[in-house]
């Protein structure tokens, strides 16, 4: 087959669809997780961002030769992919690196940060090798189904999409906080702020491919840099340090700080999807190396400058150093833009998977398909907003699911894919080591997050934890 295919309408002229179906069938349809029964059911690959619906043009189908339209997805350059990786990986966690450095100490913190860079780069390159061997799998679940088996593939889908949904819901909370910060003079409730953020998201939710977000990814990273510069300038010119030491939290705080460094580079869960949309996927190593190098430089600068200002008393979140003036509203506006883009990247992956499985016609061409896509993304967005605001201790629950699921997407599952697919012994050994590291981080993070939740449940009820606060 000449290339990878995707949609806005995952569909094209009939002969193209048949050619794709014949090519994909050679990859062992049963293990790919295809559903195939009678000819009228066709074949469907359950994938995330850029899947292909393989169907026969039979009466009663949702598609016909008139509305089928396949478009090649391999349009993104490696530099654009690098920008997309940076926008996906960098987040509000960068604002906490100074506090994490204060928790573990400057020397050990730098050692951990230096170690996390090649560790995460290695797992990203493992996924690149998987894609080079199986260029038509587009998500972790697909790859696991091919290399391990259909049941493992189903588990991969569950882990990936559950993690993405929880991440999106957490983005809604943080987006609401950013809106509150931007409009701090009005003291609006968090739920109202989240709904305002949801309204701002609706236009961006219409993007149906990752390649369409390249320019916005650059803008997103620029807003993060602007926020960091504003916070660091404030911290260095008028230090706002903690009154007590950050090193007295015990094992749980220490483990949390180390995890913060480890997952500061985490974005591997959708890197297979990114490669499918590249013009030349063999250039993915250049994209990920550039992205992680830029992130490493930013993380090191932020950690050192914040530690220089306050040493062991560095605040856990750099936004806390901003006074209630133009700096707070400016940083809030910048973070709103950043969060709009990062949420859009994640929702694009999840909603395409939902549409492909439940409503494939939403991925077609024309106004009707656009309306269906809008409906799906709006329902998903409102679900994230409501879950984030109605579930007590939601952000602690996000930490728990992150410790349990993110470790699998970043370390365990890429390691498993490498172990079962690589012929080189040293790569299998290194991949096994990655799996062990992932299991340790998953167990340690899950225990610590669970202990925090238990402690808060045993404490007196705090109505602010329900998300209906009347002030920022």
Q: 457 or 58: which carries more pLDDT confidence?
A: 457
Q: What is the CA radius of gyration of the chain?
A: 23
> Of 156, 389, 110, nearest to 269 (Cα)?
156
Give the residue-averaged pLDDT of 68-80.
64
Each residue of 103-116: pLDDT tens digit? 888 899 899 999 99
What pLDDT shows up at residue 376? 93
Q: What is the pLDDT of residues 417-458, one digit of tens each?
A: 999 988 889 999 999 999 999 999 999 888 888 888 888 888
Residues 6+ apart with CB under 8 A from 462: none
Which of 45-59, 161-175, 409-423, 425-439 is predicted least confidently?
45-59
Mean pLDDT to the nearest integer, 210-228:
89
316, pLDDT greater than 60:
yes
How far is 415 from 285, CA to CA, in rounded Å? 17
Indicate if the pLDDT at residue 95 is higher than 90: no
For residue 69, the cross-strand partners are 11
CB 89 within 8 A of CB 117: no
CATH 3.40.190.10 fits 75-133+164-391, yes or no: no
Domain map (residue ranges) of the chain: 16-69, 75-133+164-391
Closest CA to 336 of 226, 234, 231, 229: 226
Q: What is the mean pLDDT of residues 235-264?
A: 74
Confidence check: pLDDT of 61 > 60: no
């Amino acid at each position: 087959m000449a290339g990878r295919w995707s949609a806005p309408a995952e569909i094209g002229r009939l002969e193209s669809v048949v050619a794709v179906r014949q090519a994909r069938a050679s990859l062992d349809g049963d293990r790919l997780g295809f559903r195939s029964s009678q000819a009228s059911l066709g074949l469907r690959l359950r994938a995330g961002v850029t899947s292909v619906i393989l169907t026969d043009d039979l009466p009663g189908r949702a598609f016909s030769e008139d509305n089928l339209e396949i478009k090649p997805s391999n349009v993104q350059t490696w530099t654009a992919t690098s920008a997309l990786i940076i926008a996906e990986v960098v987040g509000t966690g960068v604002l906490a690196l100074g506090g994490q450095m204060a928790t573990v100490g400057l020397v050990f913190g730098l050692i951990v940060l230096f170690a996390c860079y090649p560790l995460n780069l290695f797992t990203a390159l493992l996924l690149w090798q998987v894609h080079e061997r199986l260029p038509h799998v587009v998500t972790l679940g697909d790859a696991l189904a091919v290399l391990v088996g259909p049941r493992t593939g189903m588990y991969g889908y569950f882990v990936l999409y559950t993690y993405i949904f929880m991440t999106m819901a957490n983005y809604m909370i943080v987006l609401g906080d950013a809106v509150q910060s931007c409009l701090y003079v009005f003291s609006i409730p968090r739920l109202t702020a989240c709904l305002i953020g949801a309204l701002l998201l609706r236009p961006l939710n219409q993007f149906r491919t990752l390649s369409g977000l390249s320019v916005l990814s650059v803008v997103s990273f620029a807003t993060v840099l602007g926020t960091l510069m504003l916070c660091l300038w404030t911290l260095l010119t008028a230090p706002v340090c903690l009154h007590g030491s950050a090193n007295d939290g015990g094992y749980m705080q220490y483990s949390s700080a180390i995890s913060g460094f480890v997952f500061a580079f985490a974005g591997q869960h959708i890197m297979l999807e990114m490669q499918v949309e590249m013009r030349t996927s063999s250039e993915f190593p250049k994209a990920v190396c550039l992205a992680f190098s830029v992130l490493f430089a930013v993380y090191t600068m932020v950690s050192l400058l914040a530690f220089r200002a306050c040493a062991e008393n560095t605040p856990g979140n750099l936004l806390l150093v901003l006074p209630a003036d133009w700096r707070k509203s400016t940083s809030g506006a910048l973070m709103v833009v950043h969060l709009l883009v990062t949420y859009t990247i994640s929702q694009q992956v999840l909603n395409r998977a939902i549409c492909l499985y439940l409503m494939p016609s939403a991925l077609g061409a024309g106004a009707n398909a656009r309306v269906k896509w809008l409906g799906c993304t709006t329902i998903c967005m409102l679900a994230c907003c409501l879950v984030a605001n109605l579930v007590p201790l939601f952000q602690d629950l996000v930490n728990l699911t992150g410790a349990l699921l993110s470790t699998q997407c970043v370390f365990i599952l890429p390691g498993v894919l490498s172990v079962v697919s690589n012929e080189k012994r040293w790569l299998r050994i290194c991949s096994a080591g990655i799996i062990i590291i992932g299991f340790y981080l998953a167990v340690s993070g899950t225990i610590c997050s669970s202990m925090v939740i238990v402690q808060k449940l045993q404490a007196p009820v705090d109505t602010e934890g329900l998300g209906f606060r009347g002030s920022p």
